[in-house]
Amino acid sequence: MSGIRSEAPLSEARLSEAPLIEAPLIDAEEDLAAAPQVVVARRRLRAHPALLLAGIVLASLNMRAALAGVSPLLGEIGGHFGLAATASSLVTVIPLVFMGLGSIVAPKLARRWGTETVLCGALVLLCGGIVLRVAPPVVALFAGCAVVGTAIALLNVLMPGLIKRDFPEKAAGMTGLYTTAMVLGATVSAATAVPLEEAFGSWQGSLVSWALLAGVAALVWVPQAVMSRRGTHHGEAAARPAHGVEDGPRLSRSALAWQVTLFMGSQSLIAYVTIAWMPTIFTDHGMGKGEAGLVFAFSTLVQMAGSFVVPLLAGRMRRQRVLGVMVSALMACGVVGLMVAPVAGAWLWAVLLGLGQGGALGLALTMMVLRSGDAHTAARVSGMAQTGGYLLAAVGPLALGAVHQVTDGWSVPLVLMLVVCAGLALLGMGAGRDRRIGVSQA
């Protein structure tokens, strides 16, 4: 789990420091030992806490905004390029694929260039990707989505470790601040997507407006990137691995590790299907796209409640199987509501889906800690779950978009969502057992 610094067995009391929202899973700092010159430079940098705080908040606001603002405009984007439902879903799928792939290289980049430098570069990359998405050819749209996904992956992986490293005495509070800023960015982006489209006269204007926020965040990180590398020679790596590659249990042979990974991937699949298609489901049933964007934004905001409460409950339980079934049931009820009365009960379904999705994510992140015997194993499980989870999640929007296109309706896709919810409950039953990865049970 991100931010675990000790090699001692993980206690349940430490769960209050876990990220609470669609937060990153890999802590790059956990497995990196900074070069002596970088350590000295970072001590000087900590003398400017306001600069650090501003950088963290601005970066966090950008971590989901570029994705959430697309969903209410997906119909306009598809119509502009003449894309069918399956092809339109690639606007959501491609970032997910590159979020999974980018999480693999982020620790390597941090080791070579330093966390601050890579974070600054990620924000520059994000700004460029947002602009590229609105370029005239359709290939630029998809290429921009890939760049955006890669940039978010770097932010996902590097931000938690930096917070735990630079604010060790305030880690829980700072984690709460950064996750709140991340959700706030996504909520505002979704809620303002349609109003910005109307103000600028095009969906392109609405999407590209978020490049300004990314650009401002990048500028704030420039001095941190420069200061953190003072004293290092040209070509010198910023850090070295703190652990051997083969340290710890073999995760690929652990059924429990796979259950945790698939639980993470399945809940992410449901979440990103919702991101991709929830506003479209509403508008296809007669709701105005402005209201559909607001309902979607509200559901995103409600996730904070579930992601806060569920980890607290999980940390006080030896087994989390009941919680796994509970969050799955909440999402299933929301999906049933979308089938039965999508417009009439829209705000209620938004609450159920938001609570379930936030709770499922919080539970998935918590089980990374509870199912691992030590911090290094937790970081490795986190890496496995993040990479596999995003790649699995990428299947959802594409597959349901294809089924929607073939059936010309939402009933069959939503039934498939219920099947995924049932599978998630079963995975929760397995991953929620009182077991530890790599630890033999008596």
Give the three-state DSSP class for 399. Answer: helix
The pLDDT score that the predictor gives to residue 331 is 98
pLDDT at position 361 is 87
Instruction: Kindly tell me if the per-residue pLDDT of 162 is higher than 70.
Output: yes
Structure-model confidence comparison of residues 175 and 258, the more confident one: 258
For residue 343, the tally of other CB atoms under 10 A from its CB is: 17
**Residue of 262, 395, 410, 427 lying closest to 335 (CA atoms):** 410
Per-residue model confidence (pLDDT) at position 40: 61
pLDDT at residue 375 greater than cutoff 80: no
Strand runs (DSSP E) across 149-305, as ranges? 239-241
Most confident of 247-261, 294-308, 418-432: 418-432
Range in 70-79, 196-205, 372-381 with the lowest mean pLDDT = 372-381
DSSP structure string for 127-167: HHHHHHHTSSSHHHHHHHHHHHHHHHHHHHHHHHHHHHHH-
pLDDT for res 18: 35
Sign of CA dihedral 357, 360, 364, 365: positive
Identify which has the larger pLDDT, 360 or 164: 360
Mean pLDDT of 291-301: 95
Binning pLDDT at 50, 70 and 90, where does residue 380 land?
confident
Instruction: Look at residue 62 in the predicted model and tell me its pLDDT.
Output: 95
- The predicted model gives 44-70 an average pLDDT of 87
Give residue 29's pLDDT band: very low, low, confident or very high (50, 70, 90): low
Side chain identity at residue 192, one-letter code:
T
On the question of pLDDT at 39 being above 90, the answer is: no
pLDDT of residue 165: 75
Check residue 225 and give its pLDDT. Answer: 84
pLDDT of res. 233: 57
Summarize pLDDT for 336-355 with one digit per residue, the tens.
Answer: 999 999 999 999 999 999 99
Which pLDDT tens digit goes with each residue over 193-204?
999 999 999 999
pLDDT at 23: 39
- Give the pLDDT band of residue 16 (cuts 50, 70, 90): very low
Is the C-alpha dihedral spanning 429, 433, 437, 438 positive or negative?
Answer: negative
Distance of CA 145 to the CA centre of its chain: 15
Residue 50, pLDDT score: 85
